[in-house]
Structures are given as structure tokens and as C-alpha cells.
Amino acid sequence: MLIILSALVALLVISVSLAIYLTVVARNKARLILDDRNNVRHLLNNLPGMAYQAHNLPDWPIILVSEGCEDLTGWSQDAFESSDVLWGKLIHPDDYAHVCEVVERALSNKTIFELEYRIITKNKDVRLVWERGEAVFSMLHNKLIVEGFITDITTVKLVEKEVLSIHAFSDAIVSSVSEGVVTIDHTGLIKSFNNAAQAMFGYTFDEVKNKNIKSLMPSSYADHHDQYLSNYLRNHQANIIGVGRELQAKRKDGSVFAIHLSISEIQSHEKTMFVGLIRDITLQRAAAEQARKHIEQMAHVERLNSLGEMAAGIAHEVSQPLTAISLFSQSGKSLCNSGKFERLPEIFEKVSQHARRAGAVLERMQVMTKQGDRQKELVDCNVLIDDVVKLAESDAKIRNISIKTSRCKSGTHVFVDIVQMQQVMLNLLRNGMEAMEVSKLKNGSTIELRADLISQTPHRPNRQTAVKIAVIDSGCGLSNKMTDKLFTAFSSTKENGMGIGLSISKSILQEHGGRIHYSSNSPAGTVFFFILPVVD
């Protein structure tokens, strides 16, 4: 009996010890679970949104929710977890049915759901939220519950909408501009092609999308494009990026036309892209050519007019060698009759000299009167001045005026149409001489044609890149009435002038990249001068 009692006592002790052990283990496990729950809650509370567990019942009563619920909805954790506030009651009425449908379908299919919808906050504000959740089995509740995360995307969507609006606005602008806008990537593939480009080239965007830009170029450009683009991406040295230039382009039908192209480099999503702005300059080229021909025609008329006014001087200059030829011919005849043949070579040489002199005068006149296309050429500035002086000398002698020249340093070259440039200088010389004649030469009888090398860059005064050619007279000067319309066509400084000389001169100089100016000369007269770029 005693043995049985001892065994029962031992069994009781073991049972109590086991119960105590199990209690301690359970408490530790509960503490760990609580710690884990607190850690999870702390983590969730730091998320920019609301993590939750909810019953899969109408309006989804909340079981557990993070502190972010108050920032999101204005309602506290206690309000949700006590079911004083039901999540479904916050959903916008217009979105409620859609939310129910999406959640129920996902729970039935045991899949994750994700959707966007509107809620109404405690302050009656409407916010757009994004939710992601799924059904999970809860051992505590012994059933499926809903678990997920909800965050406010109102600001994100507003920004996204604004970005889309800006993109749409930009696309509308690009589509409506008259210039062609083409975007290519770093490999030369076309990524955008606006309406103007489509009309210009004859392609639709779908036809050129992801095609190489070379398809819009004639072979003379296309053959080198890939190498050019590769070189630029490697060392960023280019002749066209950031600047504009005139090129040839090719339409869908194979025809080639003139364009003005400017290219900009942009970074889009960390990728290098190039935007080309293209303008069809076919009509501009045609208009420029028509204007050039018009200027040439007007210049020809002005040259004929000037030569007509210089006829007396020209006749005098030609008559002198002709008279000399006549006299030497008579002398030669007399020598032949008298048998003095030894002097005939001398006579023939003098006749030849005067014939060449007359021929040179007539040749200069012929060049000035000739009409038709001529090419610009490289000419020494001093040679140009000497030739003009020869043309104007006879007219100056009749007026009792002497021409003084001041030349620039030897080897100064300009790239010009020689006849047109002679015309400009001759016009300025004759205007100056006529002004001096009006003043009866009371301020002197010398007119100066002067050339000086100048710098066009103030910060580099020693870099002489242009020549300034001036005609300096001592005439009657210019009145204020004259200066207001000095370079206007059919406005003359002379009583019987045609009024196209200075206007034509201005146009000619602009065609040569030059400019014409004037200033008063001290103590009397006027200085007309123009500036031309020199060629090294």
C-alpha cells in the first residue's frame, strides 16, 4: 500500500512539473508572438499607407489596422478595430459595386486582387487609393479573412494627369507646327514624325517608325550618316549639333529637295535622343534666286545709266589714242614716201600702243555693260581699286577732280563678283564727284578711295578679318531729308538721278555678306564706306 501511495505522489509531482513547464513555454510563446506582432505593427505603422486585416463580411469590418489609417481616412485605429467605422462605408458610392466585384472574384479564385478606387474621408474629402490584398486563413478565427495594404495615390494621379496633359499639349504643339519635327534614338532609328514631316516627305509615321533616318536622305548623305553618328557619340565632336545648316533631303517618291536642318541632343529616360527641326526651303531658294536675278537686272540698268552719263569722258578717253593713231599713220606714210624706212618700226610700235590703250577702254566698257550670270572669284583688293580708278579717271578729269587712292597691304583678297563690286565703288565715286561739283570744288578738288584692314571682334583687335573700303569726298554733304531714305529705291541724292544706285549697291553688298554705311566728313563732305570679309 505504501508503495502505491509513493508512486501516486511521484506521478503527481511529475504532472505538476510538466504543467508548470508547459505554462512557462506557453507564456514565452505568447510573449514572442506579442513581440512579433508589435514588431510587425511598428513596421506597418512606418509604411506610407494602411495595412489591415478584415473579416470577409459585408463592408469588411477591420480586425487589425496600422496607424496609417488615420492619415489616410481621418479615422483612428480604435474606430476601425472596434467596428465603429466600417471600411466599406468609406468607399465612394460610385465605386462600391466595382470594389465588391473585384474582391469577391479574387477571393473565390484564391488570387491576389489589385485595384484603384475612391474613398470619402472623415472630413468629406475624396481621395483616390490603391489597394492590394488576398484571402488568408486565420487560425485565430478559424476562417478566411482579407489581408492587404491601401495607400493614397491622389497626388500621384494628379501629377500623372498633369504630365499626360503636358505631353498631350507638347504633342499638339509639335503636330501643329509648320516645321517637320523628327526624333531619332542613338542608333538613328526614327521615334517620332510629326504631321508637317509626314506632309513634307510623303510618309506616314507608321511607314517610318523604327526605320533608319537614312531613308530620308539622298545617298550622298546617307552613306556617311552611321559613321558620323557613331563618331559623335564617341567623342561628341560635331558640325551640326546645336546649329543649323542647309542640306538635301529625299521624299518617298525619290525626289530631292532643299531643307534647313537644326538638331538638338536630349536625354530621355537616361537615353540619348536627337530632335531634328526641318524646314523645306525650296520656295525660299526659288525666291532668293528670283531676287538675285532682279538685283542683277537692276544693276545692269544702273551700269548702263552710269556709262551713259560718263559717255563724254569715255569718248574723250577713246578719241585721244585714235587721234594719236591717225597722226602716227600719217607720219609713217610720209616716211614711206620719202624712203626713210628705218623709223617705221618705231611708228608701228606707237600705233600699236595707242590701239591697245583704246581697246582697253572699250573692253572695260564692254565688261560693265555685259548682262548674265557671273561667278564670284578671288581678287586682290588693290587690283579691284586700280581697275575702278581707271574706269572713273576720264569722268574725274572732265570735272577737274583728282582721285587719290590709299591701298591696303598687298595680298588682301576678297571673294566677290568683280563687275558688281566695281559698280558699287564706281557709283560711290561718281556720287562723291557730283557732290563736289555742286559745291563748285570750294572745299577741294580731291576725292579719296581708301582701303583698310579692320577687326570685327572687339576682344581681338589684332585679328583683321575684314576690309573697309571708303570713298571720302569734300562736297556739299547730306541733308537730314536725304539721310532718312538714303538707301531706298527710287530715292536719289541727285536732281535728275534714277534713285537706284545706292539701293542696288546695298543689295549687292548684302549678297556678298557686306554692309554699307555713311558718315559726315570733316570739315565738309561725306564718307561712304562698306565692309567685306577677307579671305585668308
- Kindly report, residue by residue over 46-66, the tens digit of the pLDDT: 567 889 999 999 999 999 998
Report the amino acid identity of residue 188. G
Among candidate residues 233, 225, 243, the one with its CA nearest the CA of residue 267: 233
Report the amino acid identity of residue 443. N
Of 124, 157, 190, the last residue of a domain is 157
Regarding whether 146 and 183 lie in a shared domain, the answer is no
Q: Does 297 fall in a domain?
A: yes
Q: Does 4 fall in a domain?
A: no
**ω into 93 cis (within 30 of 0):** no
| pLDDT value of position 425 | 87
Q: Using DSSP bridges, classify how beta strands 62-65 and 271-280 pair: parallel, antiparallel or unpaired.
A: unpaired
Regarding whether 480 and 383 lie in a shared domain, the answer is yes
Regarding whether 140 and 181 lie in a shared domain, the answer is no
* Residue 534, φ and ψ in degrees, nearest 5: -95, 155
Mean pLDDT across the chain: 78
Helix (H, G, I), strand (E, B) or coil at 495: coil
Q: Supply the CATH number for residue 510's domain.
A: 3.30.565.10
Q: Does 6 fall in a domain?
A: no
Regarding whether 511 and 404 lie in a shared domain, the answer is yes
pLDDT at 268 over 90: no
Regarding whether 303 and 189 lie in a shared domain, the answer is no
Q: Does 86 fall in a domain?
A: yes
Report the amino acid identity of residue 115. L
Helix (H, G, I), strand (E, B) or coil at 308: helix
Q: Supply the CATH number for residue 223's domain.
A: 3.30.450.20
Compute the half-sphere exposure of residue 534: CA atoms within 13 Å on the CB side of its CA: 23
pTM for the structure as a whole: 0.43
Regarding whether 266 and 387 lie in a shared domain, the answer is no
pLDDT at 167 over 50: yes
Structural domain harbouring 151:
43-157
DSSP structural state of residue 213: G
Of 233, 255, 280, the last residue of a domain is 280
How far apart, in whole angstroms, are the C-alpha atoms of residue 400 and residue 242?
A: 58
Q: Stretch 90-99: mean pLDDT, rounded? A: 95
What b/e string do you get for 437-450 counting C-beta neighbours within 10 Å, with b at 16 or more?
Answer: bebebebbeebbbb
Q: Does 496 fall in a domain?
A: yes
478 touches 526 (CB < 8 A): yes
Regarding whether 230 and 102 lie in a shared domain, the answer is no
Report the amino acid identity of residue 101. E
Q: Does 5 fall in a domain?
A: no
Q: Stretch 388-401: mean pLDDT, rounded? A: 83
Q: Stretch 484-497: mean pLDDT, rounded? A: 53
Regarding whether 136 and 100 lie in a shared domain, the answer is yes
Helix (H, G, I), strand (E, B) or coil at 115: strand
Q: How far is CA 11 from the centre of its chain?
A: 99
Regarding whether 375 and 314 lie in a shared domain, the answer is yes
Q: Does 24 fall in a domain?
A: no
Among candidate residues 379, 364, 365, the one with its CA nearest the CA of residue 416: 379
Regarding whether 120 and 193 lie in a shared domain, the answer is no
Of 247, 280, 313, the last residue of a domain is 280
Q: Does 15 fall in a domain?
A: no
Looking at the DSSP bridge assignments, the partners of residue 156 are: none
Q: pLDDT, tens digit, for every residue of 152-166?
A: 988 888 887 777 766
Compute the half-sphere exposure of residue 16: CA atoms within 13 Å on the CB side of its CA: 6
418 touches 424 (CB < 8 A): no
pLDDT confidence bin for 336, thresholds 50/70/90: confident
φ/ψ bin of 270: left (φ > 0), alpha (ψ from -120 to 50), beta (otherwise): left
| pLDDT value of position 61 | 94
pLDDT confidence bin for 496, thresholds 50/70/90: very low
Q: How far is CA 55 from the centre of its chain?
A: 64
**Counted domains in the chain:** 3
Regarding whether 354 and 471 lie in a shared domain, the answer is yes
Regarding whether 308 and 234 lie in a shared domain, the answer is no
Q: Stretch 97-119: mean pLDDT, rounded? A: 93
The three three-digit cell numbers of residue 359, written as one number: 581697246
